[in-house]
Amino acid sequence: MAFDLDFDDPSLKAALTLHEGQERQGPGSRATTELLLSLAAPLPERPRVLDLGSGTGAATLILAGIEGAHVTAVDVYPPFLEQLRTAAEAAGVADRVHARHGSMDALDDLPDGSLDLIWSEGAAYNIGFGSALASWRRLLSPEGVLVVTECGWLTDAPSKEARAYWDAAYPLRGTGENVEQATAAGYTVTATYLLPDSDWVEAYYAPLDARAAMIDPEDPHAVAAAEDVRREIRLYREHGHEYGYVGYVLRPRRS
């Protein structure tokens, strides 16, 4: 399922605009990215890295800090890539970061086995977790590693409020089912890690909530986007223990 974003859709545009200027466009943190990176070790010298659905590049910049790394960040939304380029300049790593405008399911120009590390925080869902994993596998070198975070159920019996929200937004699976999908896509799962509550609340929702409070009250699309954000935050406050982001560290299986 390709996810065709229509940037002329004013509702989508308003939702994306709320995320512009933010460090992250989904739950995560420097500590989590660094921990997942440590679980991806060892990497070869001068690793070739791809960050898919990079957003404004919070993870991209951390990955660019790996000794000798070259990172290609891919996203469909140009303003996020502009912010990423500016941040890479400011961090002095612009020569090691390439911001590529395009879809994470349109990577046919990249040769088989051409990457040592593929990274994707909170973005694989856009093209479906299982199909994303399956389509990216050929890109990894034999010793390569894929690190992906994905939201999923942490309980077998979610409340009807949480179930209704996620069934409409993006039907979730449990960690076990995601591990099964990764295995079916040709990987060995070498680690999983549940992102802490602070990755949602402090790193993502607090700045987003502040931004939602500053929208133009005369703009109905911005008002609706801000209300969606508040609804999502309320759901997390009341039911966040029922779902969470999990990081998966995946290596291509040889057989």
Note the residues at the interface with ligand SAM (CB under 6 A). 3, 5, 24-26, 28, 53-55, 58-59, 74-77, 80, 103-105, 121-123, 126-127
CB of 48 to ligand SAM, least distance (A): 18
Q: Provide the minimum distance between the beta carbon of 254 and ligand SAM in the complex, in angstroms, as a whole number.
A: 29
**Residue 45: CB minimum distance to ligand SAM, A:** 26
Rounded-to-integer distance, Cα 65 and Cα 85, Å: 15
| Least spacing, CB of residue 226 vs ligand SAM, in Å | 17
Of the two residues 7 and 112, which places its CB atom closer to ligand SAM in the complex? 7
CB of 169 to ligand SAM, least distance (A): 12
Closer Cβ to ligand SAM, 47 or 55, answer by number: 55
Shortest approach of ligand SAM to residue 255 CB, angstroms? Answer: 30
Residues 97, 149: contact at Cβ < 8 Å? no
Largest CA distance in the chain: 59
The CB-nearest residue to ligand SAM is 55
Q: 């509702």: which residue's tokens?
A: 11
DSSP state of 126: G
Task: Choose between 6 and 45: whose C-beta lies nearer to ligand SAM.
Answer: 6
Report the residue number, 157 or 168, with the smaller CB distance to ligand SAM.
168
In whole angstroms, how close is the CB of 253 to ligand SAM at the nearest point?
25
Cis-peptide, bond into residue 42, ω within 30° of zero: yes
Angle between helical axes of 175-184 and 129-137 (0-180°, round to 10): 30
Q: How far is CA 58 from CA 64, 87, 142, 218, in A?
A: 10, 9, 27, 32
Nearer to ligand SAM, 93 or 104 (CB): 104
Spell out the residues 6+ positions from residue 183 whose beta carbon is closer than 8 angstroms to its own: 189, 253
| CA-atom Rg of the chain in angstroms | 18
Q: Which is nearer to ligand SAM, 103 or 114 (CB)?
A: 103
End-to-end CA distance of the chain: 27
Contact call for residues 60 and 43 (beta carbons, < 8 A): no
User: Cβ(231)–Cβ(168) under 8 Å?
Assistant: no
Structure tokens at 96: 């090691």
Amino acid at 60: T
| Residue 3 vs 154, nearer CB to ligand SAM | 3
